[in-house]
């Protein structure tokens, strides 16, 4: 009875889940880009197992010296003023992860004067995506758990309509898909959880960790020009928005929140072209292979719950 809606919905979820930001394309052919493991990595902890860690990297602005815009005549008009440029923070994301991970990131983003973000869907489609992700995988969905603040957030991405058009879907198909997603509310959680197509489309914790460990990603199913478009075309947009933000008056801290696969290219542009300097890196636990084991040990707390005093962290093995 629900076979056709499930199939179409599976396509919608696949398109969302595929842009997880963990593709090896990010470092292909560019020696200046740092490896993906500088931005997202898999570690192994005693008593906990494998954990995906996602980075938050802080960059300081270069000094902008005053100059005479008119050469010798500039002395008659006075020198220009020194421009105070903002600190820029790159927040690497997986779009399917632990709920506490998204809570920690959301709290961090509140510290910014401006947040440049990657689109994660909107309206009922995003809400239903989060519901499906939770019921099928036990994970949370970024588009549901981190909500943009219209006062400080600015899209640095293609619109959802433009992205789906690039994937060969016209607006009418999107309308039909949205209607079908709304109609999924009547299907029981058990039916959703046991649906083989949804299981195939939505990666489990083990699959996400396995893909990262082996250097593969959800984007691997999209070959050639499609994968390049998703990565490089969207990078161009966020680089443009980042450039404008780096000169905006009154901004002291600008966050860029994007899938981790985009970050090697974005970071190379930030440092090599805009002249920013990397200062610090911190890590948040994004996905646990065994969340129950992680919850029982102080060695692997969720980001929102600090480790208990007196316990030293276990040794981490990075793949």
- Distance of alpha carbon 309 from alpha carbon 223, whole angstroms: 48
pLDDT at 214 over 80: no
Number of domains in the chain: 1
Nearest to 206 by CA among 15, 42, 47, 93: 42
pLDDT at 92 over 70: yes
Tell me if 5 sits within 8 A of 180, measured CB to CB: yes
Q: Could you list the residue range(s) of the whole structural domain that residue 258 is in?
A: 22-122+137-158+205-318
User: DSSP label at 111?
Assistant: T
In a domain, 169, yes or no: no
Residue 10 has a pLDDT of 38
- Angle at which helices 171-182 and 3-18 cross, to 10°: 110
Mean pLDDT of the chain: 75
In a domain, 6, yes or no: no
In a domain, 223, yes or no: yes
In a domain, 243, yes or no: yes
Least confident of 1-15, 109-123, 298-312: 1-15
Surface-to-core class of residue 132, CB atoms within 10 Å of its CB (0-12 exposed, 13-18 middle, 19+ buried): buried
What are the distances in angstroms from CA 8 to CA 2, 17, 178, 180, 305? 10, 14, 10, 8, 39
Conformational region of residue 215, where left means phi above 0, alpha means psi within -120 to 50, and beta covers everything else: left
Residue 34 has a pLDDT of 92
In a domain, 68, yes or no: yes
In a domain, 111, yes or no: yes
Please state whether the predicted TM-score (pTM) of the whole model is above 0.85.
no
Residue 203 has a pLDDT of 79
Residue 311 has a pLDDT of 41
| Interval 271-307: pLDDT, tens | 999 999 999 999 999 999 999 898 887 544 444 443 3
In a domain, 167, yes or no: no
- The predicted model gives 251-276 an average pLDDT of 95
Q: What are phi and psi of 279, to 5 degrees?
A: -110, -55
Least confident of 51-55, 79-83, 192-196: 192-196
In a domain, 4, yes or no: no
User: DSSP label at 215?
Assistant: T
Nearest to 139 by CA among 199, 57, 196, 62: 199
pLDDT at 75 over 70: no
| Interval 184-201: pLDDT, tens | 555 555 655 566 666 566
Element (H, E) at 8: helix 3-18
What are the distances in angstroms from CA 246 to CA 88, 111, 237, 275? 8, 17, 14, 11
Residue 284 has a pLDDT of 96
Tell me if 90 sits within 8 A of 267, measured CB to CB: yes
């Amino acid at each position: 009875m629900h076979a056709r809606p499930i199939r179409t919905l599976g396509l919608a979820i696949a398109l969302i889940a595929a842009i997880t930001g963990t593709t090896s394309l990010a470092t292909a052919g560019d020696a200046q880009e740092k490896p993906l493991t500088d931005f997202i990595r898999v570690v192994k902890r005693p008593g906990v197992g494998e954990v995906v860690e996602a980075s938050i990297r802080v960059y300081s602005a270069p000094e902008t010296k005053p100059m005479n815009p008119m050469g010798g005549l500039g002395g008659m008009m006075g020198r220009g003023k020194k421009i105070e440029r903002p600190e820029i923070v790159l927040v690497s994301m997986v779009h399917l992860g632990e709920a506490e991970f998204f809570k920690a990131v959301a709290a961090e983003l509140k510290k910014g004067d401006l947040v440049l973000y990657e689109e994660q869907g909107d309206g009922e489609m995003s809400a239903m995506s989060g519901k499906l992700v939770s019921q099928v995988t036990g994970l949370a969905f970024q588009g549901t758990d981190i909500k943009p603040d219209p006062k400080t957030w600015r899209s640095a991405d293609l619109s959802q309509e433009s992205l789906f058009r690039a994937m060969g879907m016209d607006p009418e198909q999107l309308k039909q898909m949205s209607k079908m997603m709304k109609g999924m509310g009547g299907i029981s959680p058990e039916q959703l959880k046991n649906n083989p197509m949804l299981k195939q489309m939505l990666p489990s914790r083990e699959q996400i960790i396995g893909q990262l460990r082996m250097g593969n990603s959800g984007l691997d199913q999209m070959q050639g020009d499609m994968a390049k478009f998703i990565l490089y075309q969207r990078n161009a947009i966020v680089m443009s928005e980042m450039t404008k933000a780096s000169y905006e008056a009154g901004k002291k801290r600008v966050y860029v929140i994007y899938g981790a696969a985009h970050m090697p290219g974005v970071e190379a542009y930030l440092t090599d072209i805009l002249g920013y300097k990397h200062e610090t890196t911190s890590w948040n636990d994004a996905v646990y292979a065994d969340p129950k084991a992680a919850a029982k040990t102080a060695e692997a707390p969720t980001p929102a719950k600090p480790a208990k005093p007196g316990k030293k962290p276990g040794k981490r093995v990075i793949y």
